Amino acid sequence: MTAELFRDFWWLIFPIFGMFLAIYSMMQSDRRAKTMIELIKSYTDQGKEPPPELVRLAARRFDDDDGDDGVAHAHGRHSGAWSFVTFAALAAGFATGWWWVRDESYAFAFVIVAVTMGVLAVGSLLILIFGRK
């Protein structure tokens, strides 16, 4: 029973692991924000002015809507361009895979993934074009 369950659903390990990493990242982000607030609070409780770098980092952290933990993106708009290129390449690869196995019974899986990656590529391109400057 257990062996059949694992054999049929082994692939669920990857999304579960991804969800675990996302939750862990959110907890770390929250912990960093609380530590930053406590540090600024300790400066103000002592009657001292907090370092300007710390205040700037806190302001950037809480002004951002994208939850990037106050760290400026190293690549800026280039990361959106790479997302588009990656999704477009995956869409092209799976479309090519479909072309080679189009007569097989499992060819629909390639079409599903190719269309999904194509939609993600278009979405990345739209975000790149119309996104926040």
CA atoms within 13 A on the CB side of 118: 12
Please give the residue that has the higher pLDDT: either 72 or 100.
100
Please give the residue that has the higher pLDDT: either 60 or 119.
119
Note down the domain range covering 34: 11-72
Pair (51, 94) in one structural domain: no
Q: 1 lies in a domain?
A: no
Banded model confidence at residue 90, pLDDT cuts 50, 70, 90: very high
Distances (CA, A) of 11 to 29, 78, 106: 28, 31, 17
Range 79-88 average pLDDT: 87
Pair (68, 94) in one structural domain: no
CA 30 to chain centre: 17
Number of domains in the chain: 2
Range 70-83 average pLDDT: 60
Q: How much of the chain, in percent, has pLDDT values that exceed 70? A: 85
Range 47-63 average pLDDT: 81
pLDDT at position 56: 84
- pTM of the complete model: 0.48
Please give the residue that has the higher pLDDT: either 94 or 64.
94
Q: 4 lies in a domain?
A: no
**Helix axis angle, 13-45 relative to 52-63, nearest 10°?**
140
In terms of residues, how long is the chain?
A: 133
Distances (CA, A) of 41 to 4, 63, 70, 113: 55, 18, 18, 50
Q: Which of 72, 99, 123 is the last residue of a domain?
A: 72
Task: Give me 56's structure tokens.
Answer: 């700037």
Pair (46, 83) in one structural domain: no
